[in-house]
Structure 1
């Protein structure tokens, strides 16, 4: 059967946390469509976006395939803040000495399903990658991160890391992560970490004791939490804009 006519299902590992109803009714051509970016050797490409239903369909998939030339750099930062189902998938292949930087935030309530999926291919020596994903969920929403790092046999001196942390603001919200490391080289540094929990109640109590209103305290704590995903944005105005646009979707919760 033609692959373009076949839709993935939640039985497929890379789609295990996706919205099954959306996949069943989706247009195969749209699901299998990839945007492509080629970063020339020694150059840097930067992509920054906030994904919400206000700017497009309530459910959508964006798949991006990137090739980074020798000593080049690709930096991507994204917030998924709206829609019934939104998925951003990035596949990056790194040449010698290249770097991939990714920062992502999912933030939503209701029944939203929001996910980042990355595949980072360290194909040559001395390449580096760093991925930081933060999820803030409430209602019955779900925030997902599936991150796969592949290190080829000849890709010595690889340095790769990924971090996922989630805050669940209400019971019923969910966060899922599936980190994968496939390493065939022996002189590498590869690490991943994950943690899922609630907002720091001690910090909220401390702020309340200093006269800070609960809504403001929550916003400040969430801002500090998601700020990790954008810390690598070197332009102050862009970083501040990403934080402000993201926090604008934070709805009042207890």
Structure 2
């Protein structure tokens, strides 16, 4: 059934860091617009793309994975205005969900990923890796909820978020949520936010690299973690290059 087209507020947990003014510009009707896909048993769906432009953007994806199916999503979020990608995935027995995400940019834009991973059947696994680099008063968010049903024994689920702030006014937020009803599971999450490694910057500067070259190399290595599982070299390069081109906007 379609969802009620009512604009959320920051009181809603899944929208607590959202730019609700920008969402109002998108319009409540966008909340009912989902891209839905079912992945048949034993098959694999892979997708990589770039989101974000000069206008607010909300993109919602709903996946249902049958037994032994696999879905892989890799995304670079470079929005100059509020840009939000939501993913809801339901895993059948022995299915796997892989997500790699990058948010990057300056200005005052909010860029965010919101995922809901539902382990509905036994022996399914999921892994989510998000890297966030921001400057100015830009914000990068990752809200990731993992739900494990009572019958979903032998579940393995992991989330890893790291934020890199290049200026004091920027921010990064991670909200991991676990709802676990099974007792034989392995679920883990980690979140850290920091700045560029000063010792690495000094080391590279001592060997003749300019501050711009040093920054690009360190950010490239940092972001690369989110794309490790992307098997297509050309697509990995495309997503990473889009992020690094965004970095070049910071002078």
Which TM class, normalised by the smaller chain length? over 0.9
By how many angstroms is 1:244 displaced? 1.6
Q: Aligned equivalents of 1:48 and 1:252: distance in 2?
A: 23
- 1:249 is paired with a residue whose SS is helix
In the alignment, structure 1 residue 108 sits paired with structure 2 residue 98: no
Correspondence for 1:150 among 147, 151, 165? 147
Q: Aligned equivalents of 2:84 and 2:187: distance in 1?
A: 25
Alignment partner, residue 6 of structure 1: 6
1:9-158 equivalences in 2 (<5 Å): 9-53=9-53, 58-158=55-155
By how many angstroms is 1:194 displaced? 0.2
Q: Aligned equivalents of 1:172 and 1:121: distance in 2?
A: 35
By how many angstroms is 1:240 displaced? 1.9
Alignment partner, residue 248 of structure 2: 251
The worse-fitting range, judged by mean Cα deviation, of 85-94 and 18-27 is: 18-27
8 Å CA contact 1:169–1:253 kept in 2: the answer is no
1:204-215 equivalences in 2 (<5 Å): 204-215=201-212
Q: Aligned equivalents of 2:25 and 2:68: distance in 1?
A: 42
In the alignment, structure 1 residue 225 sits paired with structure 2 residue 222: yes
By how many angstroms is 1:211 displaced? 0.4
8 Å CA contact 1:124–1:156 kept in 2: the answer is yes
Alignment partner, residue 180 of structure 1: 177
CA RMSD of aligned residues (A): 1.4
8 Å CA contact 2:5–2:32 kept in 1: the answer is no
- 2:22 is paired with a residue whose SS is helix
Q: Aligned equivalents of 2:104 and 2:242: distance in 1?
A: 11
Q: Aligned equivalents of 1:119 and 1:82: distance in 2?
A: 22
**Per-residue displacement from partner, 1:101-137 (whole Å, max 9, x unpaired)?**
0000000100010000000000000000000000000
Instruction: Give the TM-score of the pair, scaled to structure 2.
Output: 0.96
By how many angstroms is 1:25 displaced? 3.8
The worse-fitting range, judged by mean Cα deviation, of 44-53 and 237-246 is: 237-246
- 2:59 is paired with a residue whose SS is strand
In the alignment, structure 1 residue 242 sits paired with structure 2 residue 245: no
Instruction: Give the TM-score of the pair, scaled to structure 1.
Output: 0.95
By how many angstroms is 1:253 displaced? 4.5
**Per-residue displacement from partner, 1:64-98 (whole Å, max 9, x unpaired)?**
00001110000000010123100000000000000
**Per-residue displacement from partner, 1:157-210 (whole Å, max 9, x unpaired)?**
000000000000001001111000111111110000000010111100100000
Q: Aligned equivalents of 1:209 and 1:26: distance in 2?
A: 48
**Per-residue displacement from partner, 1:52-71 (whole Å, max 9, x unpaired)?**
31xxx610100100001110
By how many angstroms is 1:251 displaced? 2.8
